[in-house]
Amino acid sequence: MLLILIIHGFPYYALMNRFQNRLNRAGLSNGLNWKPKVASINEESFNRTKLTIYNGGIGINEFQNKKDIFEASFGRKIEAITSDELSPEYTVIMFTKNNWPKVVKFSSICNNINLHRDHFILGHTLKGIVTQDINELPHMLIAGSTGSGKSIMMKEVLVSLMKSSPYLQVIFLDLKAGIEVQDFKNYPNVSIIKDMESAVYVLKRIKTEMDQRFSYLEQNGHREIVCERDKMDKILVVVDEASVLYMSNYANQQAMKLSRMARELTDSLAKLSRAANIHLLLATQKVTKETIDTHIQENISGKFCFKTNTLAGSVTVLGNGAAYSLPDIPGRGFWSHGHKLIEVQVPLITSEEVKQFGEKLVEEYKCGSRKMLQAKINLEPNSNSNGDSNSDNNSNNNNQSNGPKNYKVEDVCIKQIEN
């Protein structure tokens, strides 16, 4: 403290003392009853103050769980609590004077930002608009109860990703036959699946596609699929209400078997599909090991959680209780990626806006300003159990004339899956 007094003077020393006393009120300590210490205080701008803390081995989750206490103690809103980029021994609390907007509209955000390629909009934070590159994830989970904003977020993620990704095929698994997915039914690059048996078949087809892409990469000495170079589209598999697909307590034996197969196929995709340019987006009301297998969760690095009804629900998704402490505001949630945990207000997108964008896509595909690099993946099971459909093969050959030689997606029927 004497060194601080010599270098910075008495006002800064007094400020450090004041911040330390308020930090102590949170009651954090390690196993040796040692309390975290204020390391530095920096005014990043007129609206933002950065507090760096030597944590003494106290994990980031323990700091994040105390967010409400810190805000009450310091009398300031917290923008984010993160680990220091250079050293995990330090924890950073970013305070802000900015206020949350009352309404965030998707159309307004799109008019005010230039989305980079393969980015989608997360929403508005106290720092401003936040977007995310899907290639950095590569998979994502959205959790939230009915009315929290889960369906709205899924729509705006898909629409913004379609805006920024010129070569994208979306496969929608919607086993609850909800009306939300109907907004996408006329999209030229979207396929919609609504029953369990078809969903499992489709997951097998996507795994076959992944394996074919790996073979192509090995043959050509590449490390990952690049759309333009390899003439292959980015593929996004969306599972709406994933708990229905992965539920393990079905009374019906056939349903249980299909559910187990869905888990195994999804686990394989989650582990391996990054290099193949195949991504997963799972949405569910509740995340438990019974609804989404732990192995699958471990391979999903991007997680968005709206307000939860229980502390355990927040801990399951985020690893801390942050979502349980959220205000009861539709569209408010936490985005977790790596050590980053950010409070976000998801923008509102209407069904009409989703349909209008779909009409625009139809016109773009018709006039040729947008196209698929490969034939739209055929998700209909063939009557021939060997998957030898001449019409399907001809369609693939005609539509993939510019693609790599000998590249073909084979049909695998549901009987083969069961084997």
Summarised one tens digit per residue, pLDDT across range 58-100 is: 999 899 889 989 999 999 999 889 898 888 899 999 999 888 8
How many CB atoms neighbour CB 155 within 10 A?
A: 23
pLDDT at 248: 66
pLDDT at 349: 95
Convert the pLDDT of each residue in 198-254 to its tens digit. Answer: 999 999 999 999 999 999 999 999 999 999 999 999 999 999 888 888 876 666 888
The amino acid at residue 140 is M
pLDDT at 256: 86
pLDDT at 10: 57
CATH topology for 106-374?
Answer: Rossmann fold (3.40.50)
From 7-16, 261-270, 376-385, the region with the lowest mean pLDDT: 376-385
Boundaries of every domain in the chain: 2-96, 106-374
Convert the pLDDT of each residue in 160-212 to its tens digit. Answer: 999 999 999 999 998 876 667 889 999 999 999 988 899 999 999 999 999 99
**Region 2-96: CATH code:** 3.30.980.40
> CA dihedral in degrees (293, 297, 299, 303; nearest 10)?
160
With b for 16 or more beta-carbon neighbours within 10 A and e for fewer, the 27-43 pattern comes to ebeeeeeeebebbbbee
Average pLDDT score over residue span 144-168: 91
